[in-house]
Each structure stands twice: as structure tokens, then as C-alpha cells.
């Protein structure tokens, strides 16, 4: 059995392909069926004179997504819609014949309808490509860390404490009836791991119980989180820039034509992506936004502010040194001005906003303990985390990159729900 992605290796040879009926049409002498097998799509030509009337009618009666096995010869055909080749069928066998119409047709459907049938929508050319690109992004991320000598150390999904805001924790019960939470981030455990391995990362799902309906939020999403001992803020900015550039280049290497042809993505900015990115402090960014929006801003930037900032340049923007009061307890205060912390957000251009957030961590025991208490957190829950500052504490830093946000930017998607196989949002937990 031949996979369609390799079909051009079998010109003028007989092959057997198996797949799903994608669409079909007929002329007076020929039935054309486009078959997809998960690796690609190919046009199959059935000459009516080679088959009985019963067989021709059976082929024509096949509904979209019926399953068929076909034997035939691969021929060059410049007018063929895929790969400029087609298969001339000699034998076929129907493996599964649908008896009901496939619910997703060529006509426009609402977002709600498509998400209801997400388990079937994945078969469309657009969604299929988006998830292939997601896979390429993940493979590139893993390759970058492997090449650069990072060790994968998995962080637990159940935790006894928060890492970000306590208001966004998913609460559940442990086997002994103690309250535990779904992880908001694997970062704290990576801080422990990097003291053993120097450079580590974790890669997995994280959970935020945010009651948000914006296009940039999911309640379950995937994040890669590297952590490095002996690394300050400037060093992790370098690593983050390298990671983004490496990942984008790998995706373009494999999917540039698909992005342009199927997703109709304008690729100029992606193809021109280079380090260093644009850098500015929070204070500078706030000043630019206030001039642009003609109003005073306070606190952290939200999606509207990030959108405005990211339209200012054709490269990602690194915003550093946010006010300490709007950032988590573990971030290192800037010694030159303790009102601010040594942190950074990287905003993707074209209005996509934050794709990476990170910081230098507070390595001093007393300072970290004070931050924990001032935040109103339970010191006992963080006793192991404080321990790290008593046994060989060093300067260390890390960041988290949201896979869906990076995929959305690369693909030019409006909403993150298309960048993950089965989105979990405030309105949807099925399918």
C-alpha cells in the first residue's frame, strides 16, 4: 500500500492506495474521485469503459468520506489538481460506504457549527494543514533544545500551590481528599531541575480557569518552558529570540508553499525574521501607547495594548521591566529601580501580541520568602521552592512559550481554537 505523499516516486508503476472520498465529478467518459489518505490528496481517474454500469453507478453513489481501496497506475497529468499526477484505476474495493451525508459541506458554516463538529472538521484541507504546522512547530522546538543541550524534565500536572494568579486555578481533590490544582505552569519545578541539569525544559498542557471569551485565550493550552542556571534576563531573551527564529525557519522550510496556497498567508514578515528583535522597556512602551491612544494607562498591558504595540514594527517586540506590582512573586526586582522586575514579554507582530513571557527569578531566600508572604500565599506550600535558595542558589532565568499563540501567528489565524486539535474554552468542553 502506497502513501499518497510518496506517489510521485511511482510514476508509471502500479500502486494501491486507501483513503477517504474527498470529492468527485464526472464527464461523459470518466469519473474523477479525489482521495485523501491523511498524508495527501490524489486524483483518481476511472474510465467508464473499463468498468460495468453497476460499478460506475456504485462509484458515483459514494458519499464524501466513504472509504475506498484502489489499485492503478500512476500517470503524469499536468492538469491534475494535486502534484501534477493522477492514478488511473484498474481495480477498487469499497471498505466503508457512508449512508448519511457528511455534515460539513463547501458552503459557509458558523464558527459554533464547525466547533461542534471539530472531530470531523479536522479532515478539511485548512484544518489538516494547521495541525501539520503545529506538529512541525513542536518538532522544531524539541530539536532546538536537543541541539542546545537542554534536558527534558517533565513537571507534574497536579500541584499543591499556584504559580500565577490563584483566581485562575482549577481546583480538584486528591486521593486523600486534599485540595490540589491543575498546573498553571511547570516553571517552579524547572527551577529545581535546572539546579541539577543546568539547562532544562518541560513541554505539556497547562490550565487556566479564566472566564475569558477573547480570541487569545484557551482554558487548556500547551506551553514549552525552558529554565537555565547561570543565566540572567539578557541571556534568556537571546535564547527566546533564537528559538522563535529557528522554529519559524523550520516551518517555512517544510510548509512555505502550503502556507501561501492553502492558508493564503502573507509570508514577507516570517521570511524576513531575524535577530535581534525590537526592544523597549515597559515605561517606553507605555509612553508610546499613551501618545497613540490619547489616554493614561495603568498596570499590565491587556490584549488591546499588545495589539497596538505589535502593529508598530514588522519584527517581534521584546518589552522588559514591568512594574513589580503586576507580576508574580518569583520575579527578580531590578536593583537599579525596585519598582520594576527583570522580566520580558515577546509580542509577535501583525497584531498577534504576546507569545512568550519570562523573567530572571529571585534567587535570594529572604527576598523570595517576603514576596510569598506579601502576596498572601501559604509559605508551607512553597517550602520546597524556598529550599532551592538554601542549597547552592544561583542566578537563573526562564520563560514560557505558548504553542497555540506561535502557531496562530505563523498561520495567520484569527482565533487560537484553530491552533489546537480540540479547544477547551469557557463555552466548550466537547468534543
| Residue given cell 519570562 in the structure block | 358
Question: Which has more confidence, 83 or 33?
Answer: 33
- Residue 230 pLDDT greater than 80, yes or no: yes
State the DSSP H helix or E strand holding residue 55, giving kind and residue range, or none if neither. helix 53-60
Question: By the 8 A CB rule, do 68 and 93 touch?
Answer: yes
Query: Is 104 within the bounds of a domain?
Result: no
Please indicate, yes or no, whether residues 88 and 169 belong to a single structural domain of this protein: no
Please indicate, yes or no, whether residues 43 and 134 belong to a single structural domain of this protein: no
* Per-residue buried b or exposed e for 291-320, using 16+ beta carbons within 10 Å of the residue's own CB: eeeeeeeeeebeeebbbbbbeeeebbbbbb
Please indicate, yes or no, whether residues 58 and 122 belong to a single structural domain of this protein: no
Last residue of a domain, one of 40, 66, 96: 96
Question: By percentage, how much of the chain surpasses pLDDT 70?
Answer: 99
Q: Give the residue from 142, 279, 126, 115 showing the smallest Cα distance to 203.
A: 142
Please indicate, yes or no, whether residues 160 and 263 belong to a single structural domain of this protein: yes
Interval 205-214: pLDDT, tens: 999 998 888 8
Query: Is 35 within the bounds of a domain?
Result: yes
Query: Is 272 within the bounds of a domain?
Result: yes
**Cβ neighbourhood burial of 345 (10 Å; 0-12, 13-18, 19+):** buried
Please indicate, yes or no, whether residues 125 and 81 belong to a single structural domain of this protein: no
CA–chain centroid gap for 7, Å, is 29
CATH of the domain at 40: 2.40.50.140
Strand partners, 226: 201
The CA-based dihedral angle spanning residues 214, 219, 220, 224, taken in that order and rounded to the nearest 10 degrees: 60
Domains contained in the chain, number: 2
Query: Is 364 within the bounds of a domain?
Result: yes
Query: Is 113 within the bounds of a domain?
Result: no
Please indicate, yes or no, whether residues 251 and 371 belong to a single structural domain of this protein: yes
State the DSSP H helix or E strand holding residue 58, giving kind and residue range, or none if neither. helix 53-60
Mean pLDDT of the 197-202 span: 98
Question: Which has more confidence, 215 or 318?
Answer: 318
Interval 293-337: pLDDT, tens: 888 998 899 989 999 999 999 999 999 999 999 999 999 999 999
Please indicate, yes or no, whether residues 204 and 313 belong to a single structural domain of this protein: yes
- Residue 41 pLDDT greater than 90, yes or no: yes
pLDDT-based confidence at residue 30 (cuts at 50, 70, 90): very high
The pTM for the full model equals: 0.94
Strand partners, 181: 159, 171
Q: Which value, in Å, is the radius of gyration of the alpha carbons in the chain?
A: 26
Query: Is 53 within the bounds of a domain?
Result: yes
How far apart (Å, rounded) are the C-alpha atoms in residues 43 and 35? Answer: 6
Query: Is 108 within the bounds of a domain?
Result: no
Interval 85-104: pLDDT, tens: 999 999 999 999 999 999 99
Please indicate, yes or no, whether residues 140 and 48 belong to a single structural domain of this protein: no
State the DSSP H helix or E strand holding residue 258, giving kind and residue range, or none if neither. helix 233-261
How far apart (Å, rounded) are the C-alpha atoms in residues 171 and 175? Answer: 13
Please indicate, yes or no, whether residues 325 and 409 belong to a single structural domain of this protein: yes
CATH of the domain at 131: 3.30.930.10
Range of the domain at 200: 118-419
Please indicate, yes or no, whether residues 271 and 397 belong to a single structural domain of this protein: yes
- Residue 167 pLDDT greater than 80, yes or no: no
Last residue of a domain, one of 96, 128, 156: 96
In this predicted structure, what is the pLDDT of residue 163? 75
- Residue 216 pLDDT greater than 90, yes or no: no
Please indicate, yes or no, whether residues 15 and 149 belong to a single structural domain of this protein: no
Query: Is 424 within the bounds of a domain?
Result: no
Question: By percentage, how much of the chain surpasses pLDDT 90?
Answer: 92
Please indicate, yes or no, whether residues 78 and 219 belong to a single structural domain of this protein: no
Amino acid at each position: 500500500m502506497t502513501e499518497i505523499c510518496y506517489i510521485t516516486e511511482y510514476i508509471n508503476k502500479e500502486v494501491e492506495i486507501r483513503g477517504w472520498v474527498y470529492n468527485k465529478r464526472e464527464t461523459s467518459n470518466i469519473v474523477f474521485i479525489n482521495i485523501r489518505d491523511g498524508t495527501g490528496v490524489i486524483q483518481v481517474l476511472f474510465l467508464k469503459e473499463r468498468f460495468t454500469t453497476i460499478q460506475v453507478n456504485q462509484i458515483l453513489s459514494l458519499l464524501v468520506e466513504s472509504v475506498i481501496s484502489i489499485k492503478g497506475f500512476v500517470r503524469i497529468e499536468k492538469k491534475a489538481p494535486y502534484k501534477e499526477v493522477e492514478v488511473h484505476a484498474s481495480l477498487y474495493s469499497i471498505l466503508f460506504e457512508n449512508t448519511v451525508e457528511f455534515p460539513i459541506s463547501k458552503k459557509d458554516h458558523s464558527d459554533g457549527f464547525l466547533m461542534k463538529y471539530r472531530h470531523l472538521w479536522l479532515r478539511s484541507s485548512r484544518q489538516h494543514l494547521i495541525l501539520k504546522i503545529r506538529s512541525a512547530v513542536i518538532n522544531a522546538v524539541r530539536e532546538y533544545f536537543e541541539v542546545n543541550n537542554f534536558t527534558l524534565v517533565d513537571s507534574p500536572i497536579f500541584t499543591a500551590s499556584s504559580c500565577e494568579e490563584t483566581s485562575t486555578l482549577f481546583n480538584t481533590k486528591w486521593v486523600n481528599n486534599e485540595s490540589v490544582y491543575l498546573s498553571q505552569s511547570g516553571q517552579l519545578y524547572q527551577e529545581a531541575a535546572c539546579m541539577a541539569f543546568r539547562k532544562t525544559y518541560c513541554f505539556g498542557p497547562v490550565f487556566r480557569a479564566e472566564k475569558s471569551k477573547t480570541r487569545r485565550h484557551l482554558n487548556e493550552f500547551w506551553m514549552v518552558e525552558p529554565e537555565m542556571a547561570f543565566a540572567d534576563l539578557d541571556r534568556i531573551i537571546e535564547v527566546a529570540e533564537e528559538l522563535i527564529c529557528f522554529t519559524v525557519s523550520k516551518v517555512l522550510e517544510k510548509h512555505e508553499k502550503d502556507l501561501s496556497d492553502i492558508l493564503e498567508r502573507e509570508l514577507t514578515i516570517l521570511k524576513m525574521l531575524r535577530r535581534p528583535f525590537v526592544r523597549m522597556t515597559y515605561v517606553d512602551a507605555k509612553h508610546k501607547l499613551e501618545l497613540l491612544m490619547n489616554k493614561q494607562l495603568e498596570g499590565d498591558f491587556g490584549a488591546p495594548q499588545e495589539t497596538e504595540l505589535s502593529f508598530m514594527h514588522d519584527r517581534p517586540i521584546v518589552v522588559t521591566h514591568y512594574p513589580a506590582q503586576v507580576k508574580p512573586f518569583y520575579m527578580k526586582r531590578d536593583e537599579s529601580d525596585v519598582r520594576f522586575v527583570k522580566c520580558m514579554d515577546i509580542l509577535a507582530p501583525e497584531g498577534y501580541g504576546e507569545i512568550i513571557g519570562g523573567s530572571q527569578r529571585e534567587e535570594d531566600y529572604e527576598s523570595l520568602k517576603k514576596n510569598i508572604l506579601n502576596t498572601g500565599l501559604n509559605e508551607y506550600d512553597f517550602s520546597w521552592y524556598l529550599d532551592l535558595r538554601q542549597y547552592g542558589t544561583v542566578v537563573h532565568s526562564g520563560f514560557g512559550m505558548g504553542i497555540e499563540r506561535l502557531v496562530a501567528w505563523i498561520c495567520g489565524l484569527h482565533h487560537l481554537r484553530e491552533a489546537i486539535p480540540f479547544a477547551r474554552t469557557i463555552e466548550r468542553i466537547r468534543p
